[in-house]
Chains A and B, each alone.
Chain A
Amino acid sequence: MKVAYWPGCVSRGFTPELHGSMAKVAPLLDIELVELDRACCTGAGVIAEHNQELADTLNARTFALAQQVDGAELMMNICSTCQGAQSECQERLDANAEYRAHVNTTLAAEGLTYETGLTNKNFLWLLVEEIGLESLAARVKRPLTNLKVGPFYGCYIVRPRERLGIDAEHPRDHYLDQVIDALGGTVIEYAGMRKCCGFPIITMNKEASLKQAGRHLGDAADADADCLVTPCPLCHLNLDLQQPLAAGVVGRELNMPVLHLPQLVGLALGLDPKELGLGRHVVKPTSVIDWSTSVVAAAA
Chain B
Amino acid sequence: MWRRSYLVGLLAVVLLSWLGWGQAGHEYVVPATTTLKAIAQETLGDAAYAPAVMRATNAKSLADPTYLKIRTLDMEIPEGAKLWIPERAWAKAFMAFWDPNRPEDLFGGGKLVVGSWWTAGGEAEGLNALFEIYDEYYPDVQIVNATIAGGAGFVFRAVIKPRLIAGDPPDTFQLHAGLEVEGYSPETYLTPLDKLYEIEGWNKVLPKDLLDLLVYKGHYWGVPVNIHRANVLWYDKAIFDKYGITPPENWDEFFAICEKLKAEGVVPFVMGNAGGWEAAHLFETILISTLGAEGYKGLWTGETPWSSEGVTKALEIMKKILDYVNPDYAALSWDGAGEYLIAHKGAMMIMGDWTNGWFMAKGYEDYGWAPVPDTGGIFDALSDTFCLPKRAPNPINALGWLMVCGSKEGQIAFNTRKGSIPARTDLTAAEKAQFNPYLRSCMDDFARDAIVPSVIHGAAAIESWVTDFKDAVNLFLATKDVAGTQRALVEAAEAALKG
Query: Do A and B come together as binding partners?
Result: no
Interface residues of B (CB under 8 A from A): none
